[in-house]
Amino acid sequence: MTTATLPPAAPAALPPRAPATRWPGAPRPAAAAFTVRPAREGDGPALAALSRPFVRAGALRERPLSLYLARASDFLVAQAPDGTLEGGLGLSEHATDGVLYNFCVAAHRQGSGMGGRLLRAALARARGRALGRLFTATTGSGRLFLGHGFVPVAPELAPAAWARTLDPGRDARVLARTL
């Protein structure tokens, strides 16, 4: 078995982004007001609905509503001022490590910083639970994870119970980060 060492955790603060350029006279974008909070059991149907477009696109595995109801405490959600859930991310614990799963942000919120804020909240939650490493699997570019200190790793380094559930047909990459 090959042993890989994960890099040290990335610094807590990322450098500020340069302001976006607007055309003169263009309307200002709407304020991206939302709050990140722990999910409640009653959020299960909204989490399932939020995930459906990603399931149809092949980015997420289909999960039954019962999973969202039973494991709501795994999730952090991004909630709009009107109460609509527009993002979600699950964190499951496996001994001393954690797994991030079912990460989704509504299409109209992508690029707004919502995904980064959810990910930072999940990192803080994992640190608060004294987890040593976080793993995730992605079928996409993984750019957000990579920008937050995750690196590609062999699936064998991940918690075995979770790694066994990965579908080889999805061609997902496993990423990890030391906390």
Cβ density class 120-134: b for 16+ within 10 Å, e for less = bbbbebbeeeebebb
Q: Which CATH class is domain 35-178?
A: alpha beta
Give the residue extent of every domain in the chain.
Answer: 35-178
pLDDT digits (tens, 9 = 90+) for 27-76: 444 445 899 999 998 999 999 999 999 999 989 999 999 999 999 999 99
pLDDT digits (tens, 9 = 90+) for 72-104: 999 999 999 999 999 999 999 999 999 999 999
Which tokens go with 170? Answer: 């999805």
